[in-house]
C-alpha cells in the first residue's frame, strides 16, 4: 500500500494524470458525444410578411403634396399577396442520416426565407445552415465539398428535428446558390444536403 502511495505522489505520475484529465475534458468539449443521444426539436410556423405599421406611432412631418403622376409598376415591388414557394429540394444523407425537405419562400414584402420541413438529422457540435454554389453529391464524395466555393451561412441550426425558418440575405441569387447543407463547422463535414430546384 505504501508503494502505491509513493507511486501516486511522484511528480511524473501526477503530471500524467493531469494531462489525462485535461485531454478527457477537451475531448468531451470538442466532440460533445452526448449530443448523439439528445434531440432539439423546433417547430416554427410559416413566416408572415412584415408587421403592419402601427397607426399610433409618430409619423414623419408632412410635406406639400406633389402633383400626381400616373402610377408606374415597380419592378421590385412584390405582387404576391401570399407567401410563394420559389425553390424546393429534398435532403439527402451525408455523414449522418438526414431526411426532410427544403423550400425557399418569397414573402409578400419581398423578403425570402429558407424553410426546413420535417427535418430529421443527428445533433452535433457547431452545426450551421449554409446555402452554397456546390453540387450535391451522394455518398462520401459529397461530404466535404460545400466549403470549396462560395457559401453564405444562415446561422446555427436551430434544432436537429422539426420545421424551421432561416432568413435569406436580400438580393441572394438563387441561380448562383443552388444547394443547402447542414454543415458541421467544427469538423468541416456535411451532415446532409439538398439541391434547390426553382419552382
pLDDT grade for 26, boundaries at 50, 70 and 90? very low
**Residue 31 clears pLDDT 90, i.e. is over it:** no
Side-chain-side CA neighbours of residue 10 (13 Å): 9
Q: Are 130 and 116 a contacting pair, CB within 8 Å?
A: no
Strand partners, 184: 127, 189
Using DSSP's 3-state secondary structure scheme, residue 12 falls into: helix
pLDDT in tens, 172-199: 999 999 999 999 999 999 999 999 999 8
pLDDT in tens, 140-182: 999 999 999 999 999 999 999 999 999 999 999 999 999 999 9
Q: Are 135 and 149 a contacting pair, CB within 8 Å?
A: no
**Looking at residue 109, what is its pLDDT?**
94
pLDDT grade for 47, boundaries at 50, 70 and 90? confident
pLDDT grade for 79, boundaries at 50, 70 and 90? low
Confidence (pTM) = 0.70
Using DSSP's 3-state secondary structure scheme, residue 83 falls into: coil
Helices (H) and strands (E) in the chain, counts: 2, 11
Grid cell in block for residue 157: 441550426
**Could you give the CA distance from residue 13 to residue 18 in angstroms, rounded to a whole number?**
9
Concatenate the DSSP letters of all residues of 92-120 into one string: EESSS--EEEEEEEE-TTS-EEEEEEEEE
- Find the mean pLDDT for residues 134-138: 97
**Looking at residue 48, what is its pLDDT?**
77
pLDDT in tens, 80-132: 689 999 999 999 999 999 999 999 999 999 999 999 999 999 999 999 999 99
Amino acid at each position: 500500500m505504501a508503494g502505491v502511495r509513493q507511486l501516486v505522489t511522484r511528480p511524473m505520475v501526477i503530471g500524467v494524470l493531469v494531462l489525462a484529465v485535461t485531454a478527457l475534458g477537451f475531448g468531451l468539449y470538442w466532440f460533445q458525444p452526448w449530443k448523439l443521444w439528445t434531440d432539439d426539436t423546433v417547430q416554427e410556423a410559416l413566416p408572415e410578411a412584415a408587421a403592419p405599421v402601427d397607426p399610433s406611432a409618430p409619423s414623419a412631418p408632412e410635406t406639400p403634396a406633389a402633383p400626381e403622376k400616373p402610377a408606374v409598376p415597380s419592378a421590385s415591388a412584390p405582387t404576391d399577396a401570399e407567401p410563394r414557394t420559389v425553390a424546393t429540394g429534398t435532403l439527402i444523407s451525408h455523414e449522418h442520416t438526414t431526411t426532410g425537405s427544403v423550400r425557399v419562400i418569397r414573402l409578400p414584402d419581398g423578403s425570402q426565407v429558407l424553410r426546413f420541413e420535417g427535418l430529421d438529422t443527428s445533433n452535433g457540435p457547431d452545426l450551421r445552415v449554409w446555402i452554397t454554389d456546390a453540387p450535391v453529391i451522394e455518398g462520401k464524395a459529397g461530404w466535404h465539398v460545400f466549403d470549396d466555393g462560395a457559401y453564405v451561412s444562415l446561422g446555427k441550426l436551430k434544432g436537429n428535428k422539426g420545421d424551421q425558418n432561416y432568413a435569406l440575405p436580400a438580393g441572394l441569387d438563387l441561380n448562383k446558390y443552388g444547394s443547402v447543407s447542414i454543415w458541421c463547422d467544427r469538423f468541416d463535414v456535411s451532415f446532409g444536403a439538398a439541391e434547390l430546384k426553382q419552382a
